[in-house]
Amino acid sequence: LTRSVKDFHVLMDLFDRHGAKFVSITQSLDTHHPMGRLLRNILLDFAQFEREMTGDRTRDKMP
């Protein structure tokens, strides 16, 4: 969906305002409980970290 923690939370707020809910088909996370939200946020942080590291590696290889 996104690799930006900020963008993901903006989307979640939008979903909440419209009565929609987020369901992941690749991870079974129940975000109605604190543990599910914690795991979701950890996954988001790692996704954003990897995106930033990829960008750094790409920039390092450019002339």
Q: In this predicted structure, what is the pLDDT of residue 39?
A: 92
Q: Which residue has the tokens 């990897």?
A: 50
**By residue range, what is the domain housing residue 17?**
5-61
Tell whether the model's pLDDT for residue 20 goes beyond 90: yes
Tell whether the model's pLDDT for residue 2 goes beyond 90: no
Name the pTM for this structure.
0.73
Number of domains in the chain: 1
26-31, long-range: CB < 8 A, 24+ apart = none
pLDDT in tens, 28-55: 888 888 998 899 999 999 999 999 999 9
Phi, psi of 33 (to 5 degrees): -120, 150
The mean pLDDT of 1-6, rounded to a whole number, is: 87
Closest CA to 8 of 45, 38, 58, 34: 45
Do 28 and 37 touch, CB atoms closer than 8 A?
no
Q: In this predicted structure, what is the pLDDT of residue 31?
A: 84
Average pLDDT value for the chain:
90
Contacts of 41 (CB under 8 A, 6+ apart): 5
